[in-house]
Amino acid sequence: MNRHRASRNQMRRNAHRMRRYGVEPMALITEDLEFAPLVIASIARTIWRYRSELAPLTIAASDLVTGMILRRWFPEWWPAVTTATVIVAGAVAIWGRWVNLPRPIERGYATVTTAFAGTWLTLAAYLGPFAPPLPAVLGIGTLVLAMPWWAHRRRRARVRVERTLAAWPDIAQAVGLAGSRVQSAIVDLWGYRFRLGLGLGQTVEDALSAVPRLESALGTTRGGVRVQPVASKKANRADVRVIETDPHADAIAWPGPSITSITQPVKLGLFEDGTPVRVPLQRRHGLFAGMSGAGKSGGVNVLLGDLTACQDVILWAIDLKRGMELLPWASCIDRLATTPQEAEALLADAVVILDGRADDLTRRGERVWEPSPDRPALIIIVDEYAELASEAPRAIDYADSIARRGRAPAVNLIAATQRPSKDAMGKSAVRSQMDVRLCFRVREPRDGDLILGQGMVKAGWHPHKLDAPGKFLISAPEHDIPRRARAYLMDDARVQATAERHAEHRPPLDAVSLAALDAAASMAERHGDAPIDEERTSPRHARQAAPKRGDSVLWAVLRDAPENGITVDDLKTATGMSRPTIYRRLGQLENDGRVRQVSRGRWRARLDPDPT
Instruction: Report the binding-site residues for ATP.
Output: 290-297
Q: Are the CB atoms for 70 and 129 separated by under 8 Å?
A: no
Give the Cα separation of 57 and 53 in Å (integer): 9
CB proximity list for 209: less than 8 A, separation 6 or greater? none
Give the Cα separation of 148 and 145 in Å (integer): 6
Amino acid at 526: R
CB proximity list for 109: less than 8 A, separation 6 or greater? 145, 148
Please list the residues that pair with 603 across neighbouring strands.
566, 597
Q: Are the CB atoms for 363 and 498 separated by under 8 Å?
A: no
Closest listed residue to residue 395, CA positions, set 441, 351, 450, 459: 351
CA distances from 55 to 45, 113, 143, 146 (A): 15, 12, 12, 9
Closest listed residue to residue 572, CA positions, set 543, 533, 601: 601
Alpha helices, H only, 406-510: 422-425, 428-432, 445-452, 492-503
Q: Are the CB atoms for 56 and 145 separated by under 8 Å?
A: yes
Give the Cα separation of 296 and 280 in Å (integer): 19
Please list the residues that pair with 286 across neighbouring strands.
414, 436
Q: Are the CB atoms for 488 and 306 separated by under 8 Å?
A: no
CA 206 to chain centre: 27
Question: In the chain, what is the straight-line distance between the N-terminal and C-terminal CA atoms, in Å?
Answer: 116
Half-sphere exposure of 451 (CA within 13 A, CB side): 33
Give the Cα separation of 461 and 478 in Å (integer): 15
Coil, strand or helix: which one is 454?
coil
Cis ω for the linkage preceding 133 (within 30 of 0) = yes
CA distances from 225 to 191, 215, 216, 458 (A): 10, 6, 10, 16
CA 537 to chain centre: 36
Annotated binding site: 290-297
CA distances from 76 to 65, 69, 125 (A): 17, 12, 8
Half-sphere exposure of 173 (CA within 13 A, CB side): 5
Main-chain phi, psi angles of 498, to 5 degrees: -65, -45
Q: DSSP readout, 301-339? A: HHHHHHHTT-TTEEEEEEETTTTTTTGGGTTT-SEEE-S
CB proximity list for 321: less than 8 A, separation 6 or greater? 338, 383, 384, 387
Closest listed residue to residue 382, CA positions, set 440, 436, 325, 334: 325
B/e letters for 437-459, b = 16+ CB within 10 Å, e = fewer, are: bbbbbbeebebbbbbbbeebbeb
Q: Are the CB atoms for 565 and 523 separated by under 8 Å?
A: no
Beta strands in 441-478 (DSSP E): 471-475
